């Protein structure tokens, strides 16, 4: 399928109630990149037990504003769980920044963490460990199998809605309550 057939980059994937993979059950994933070679995304609603202060301490980074130390780190997916990604709303660029849209980017380099600790980073950000990825054609097949709903990204869902409400709030942007949907589709 061509890259333009499914335009999933800068979209949210909302797991359908019948999601058979427990790693993705009730997940909301921001698609950061989607090409003919595959798809890369970050889960935005699964908090870990680690916070930003723990990470700064581990990396020996001094923090100017200790209030950000309590910011929770998210589990972004089962791939590369030790790799950190910062999803942010800034047009600033760091050493390893991947633009998602004109308003969003993902950075995976330590320089953004130092800027965040020095209050020079983006206004809104999520720190995410791990990611989700799909091989060529895999996400398209899952879409056709009704595994995911999609909706446009809304910054309030990314940065304001509490984690535990993001699955339902993302589906509400489509005018549906995903928790009331059945676990199977109506076609064979």
For 78-113, the pLDDT digits (tens) are 999 999 999 999 778 899 999 999 999 999 999 999
Which CATH number fits the domain that encloses residue 49? Answer: 3.40.1740.10
CB contact at 8 A, 152 and 12: yes
Q: Which residues contact 110 (CB under 8 A, 6 or more apart)?
A: 59, 95
Angle at 40 between CA 111 and CA 59, to 5 degrees: 25
Question: Is 164 within the bounds of a domain?
Answer: yes
Question: Is 188 within the bounds of a domain?
Answer: no
pTM for this model (two decimals) = 0.89
Question: Is 184 within the bounds of a domain?
Answer: no
> Which domain covers residue 166, as residue numbers?
11-175
Q: How many domains does the chain have?
A: 1
Question: Is 156 within the bounds of a domain?
Answer: yes
Which among 77, 123, 84 has a CA at the least distance from the CA of 106? 84
The mean pLDDT value of the chain amounts to: 89
Question: Is 182 within the bounds of a domain?
Answer: no
What pLDDT, in 10s, does the model give residues 114-136? 999 999 999 899 999 999 999 99
CB contact at 8 A, 12 and 169: no
* Residue 71 in this model has a pLDDT that exceeds 50: yes
Confidence of residue 188 (pLDDT cuts 50, 70, 90): very low
């Amino acid at each position: 399928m061509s890259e333009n057939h499914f335009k999933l980059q800068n979209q949210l994937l909302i797991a359908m109630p019948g999601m058979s993979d427990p790693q993705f059950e009730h997940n909301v994933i921001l698609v950061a990149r989607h090409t003919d070679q595959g798809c890369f995304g970050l889960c935005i609603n699964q908090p870990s037990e680690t916070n930003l202060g723990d990470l700064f301490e581990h990396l020996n980074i001094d923090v100017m504003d200790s209030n950000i130390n309590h910011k929770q780190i998210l589990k972004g997916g089962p791939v590369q769980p030790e790799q950190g990604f910062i999803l942010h709303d800034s047009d600033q660029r760091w050493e390893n920044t991947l633009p998602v849209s004109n308003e969003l980017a993902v950075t995976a380099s330590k320089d953004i963490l130092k800027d965040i600790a020095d209050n020079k980073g983006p206004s809104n950000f999520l720190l995410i460990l791990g990611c989700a990825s799909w091989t060529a054609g895999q996400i398209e097949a899952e879409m056709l199998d009704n595994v995911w709903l999609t909706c446009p990204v809304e910054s309030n869902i990314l940065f304001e809605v509490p984690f535990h409400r993001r699955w339902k709030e993302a589906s509400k942007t489509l005018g549906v309550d995903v928790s009331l949907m059945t676990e199977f589709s109506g076609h064979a």
